[in-house]
Structure 1
C-alpha cells in the first residue's frame, strides 16, 4: 500500500462539468471549487476554455478542453482545428475522443494518424494530451489495439470513457490498459466514479488521473477516514 496525503489525492482529480446546459455561473463555480480543493484540472467543453483560462491563469489548476466530445465523429482536420482553437484560448490539456467508426472498422492506420496529429500538436504547444477510448463500445481486442497505437504514439494519457457512453470506468479496463501501455503512458479513469471507495480502487489499479463530477464528495469522504491527513491506498 502507498500512503498519500489529501493534497496528493486531490491533485489526481480532474473536476468535471461537461453538461451541455452548463452556464457561465456553473463554470465559474467549478473553477472556484477546483482552486479551493486543490484539484489538478477543470474538464470542460471546448467552448468554455476562454472563461476558465481567465479565471485560472494565476492558479496551478489546469484548463482541460474536451475535443470532438462526446462522440468523436469528426474528421482529423476538424479535431486539429478544434484543438488549435482550444490551445490558443489557453487550454493546458486536451481530452479528445477517438473516431469510433474507424476503431470498429479496424482502420488502425487512420486511428494512428489521428492520434499522431493531435498528440504532436499538444506536444508542440506544451499541453498534455489524453485519448478517450469510450471502452463501453469496444471489444477487449479493440482496446488492446488502441493501447498498442498509444504505446507507439505516446500521448500523455489514455482514458476509459467520456461519461456519456454506454458504460463508465471499470477496474478491469484500467488493469488491461495499464498492462498494455506499460510505464510510458498514463491511464485516466473516468465515468461513474462517485465515491471515495471507488476512487481508491481506481488509484490502486494504476490510474493517475480520475475524472469525476463528484470530487468534492470524494475528498470529504477521504478526509473523514484520513489519519493525520494521509490515506493508505
Structure 2
C-alpha cells in the first residue's frame, strides 16, 4: 500500500485543524493564526473558548472544553461548549475525565460525553479527547466505545499538554479499529513532520491537529 506521503499538500491541508491553545495566546496571535490558516488552505482553526468569537470566514472554527485536564464537572463542560457554539464554534473538542477511563469507569466517561453532546445538540461536531498516551489499550478501547455510544463525531488522541505524550501510530490504529469508520479519528499532539503525519494517516487518522502546520505541509508535494 502506498504511503500517505503520496498525498498532495492540498489533500493533507483539508484534514488539518490549525491550532493555537497556548495559555499566553493573544487576540493578535489568533488573527495571525487565521491569516496563516487561509494561506495554507487548511480546513479549520482551533482556539481557546475565551478567544471566541472570531471572524474566520472560509474556515471551520473549532474550540475546546474541559481543557486541558478534563477535571471539570460535566455540567461545566456542557455550559462551556454551549456558549462556544453560541459564539460561532462549529466544532468542540472535549476532554474526558481521564481518571475515569484509567479506572475502567466507562459509564462515567459515557455520561460526561453525553452531557456535552446534549448541551450542543446537532449544532456542532463533537470531538472527544481521550488522552491516549495516558491510557492502556483496554482503556483506549473503552473510551472510544463510550464516545461512539454517546453520539460523538470524532475521537481524538491528545490535548498536547499531557506529560505522557501525544499521538502515536499504535493508539490511532487502535482507535480507528474500535470506531470502525463510524466516527472520525483526530490525531494531535507532537506531530511536527510530514513523515509523522503520513504515518498517522496510514494508521487511520482522518483529521490532524497541528500547531506546526506549515512545517508538516512542506513535506507533501503537489
Identify whether the pair has TM-score above 0.5, normalized to the shorter chain.
yes
Could you tell me how far apart the structure 1 residues matched to 2:20 and 2:171 are? 23
Q: Show the 5 A alignment for 1:10-21.
A: 10-21=13-24
Contact 2:79 2:119 in 1 (8 A): no
Specify the alignment match of 1:109 in structure 2.
107
**Could you say what the CA RMSD is over the residues aligned between the two structures, in angstroms?**
1.4
TM-score, normalization: structure 2? 0.93
Instruction: Say if 2:179 is the partner of 1:199.
Output: no
Deviation of 1:26 (Å): 0.7
Specify the alignment match of 2:31 in structure 1.
28
Specify the alignment match of 2:45 in structure 1.
42
Detail structure 1 runs of 4+ shifted over 3 Å in the superposition.
Answer: 2-5, 120-123
Aligned equivalent of 1:86, options 84, 87, 110:
84
Deviation of 1:35 (Å): 1.1
Name whichever of 6-15 and 88-97 sits farther off. 6-15
Q: Show the 5 A alignment for 1:132-151.
A: 132-151=129-148
Deviation of 1:177 (Å): 0.6
Could you tell me how far apart the structure 2 residues matched to 1:104 and 1:196 are? 31
Could you tell me how far apart the structure 1 residues matched to 2:79 and 2:168 are? 32
Could you tell me how far apart the structure 2 residues matched to 1:196 and 1:98 are? 29
Specify the alignment match of 1:184 in structure 2.
182
Could you tell me how far apart the structure 2 residues matched to 1:199 and 1:93 are? 21
Could you tell me how far apart the structure 1 residues matched to 2:183 and 2:205 are? 11
Q: Which runs of 5+ in 1 are unaligned?
A: none
Could you tell me how far apart the structure 1 residues matched to 2:40 and 2:62 are? 17
TM-score, normalization: structure 1? 0.89
SS in 2 for 1:36: helix
Contact 1:49 1:63 in 2 (8 A): no
Q: Which whole-Å deviations, capped at 9, do the CAs of 1:90-131 have from their partners, x for residues lacking one?
A: 001000100123223332222111112222444431x11100
Deviation of 1:219 (Å): 1.3
Could you tell me how far apart the structure 2 residues matched to 1:43 and 1:98 are? 18
Q: Which whole-Å deviations, capped at 9, do the CAs of 1:78-97 have from their partners, x for residues lacking one?
A: 01110011001100100010
Aligned equivalent of 1:163, options 160, 163, 176:
160
Specify the alignment match of 1:7 in structure 2.
10
Aligned equivalent of 2:170, options 152, 172, 182:
172
Q: Which runs of 5+ in 2 are unaligned?
A: none
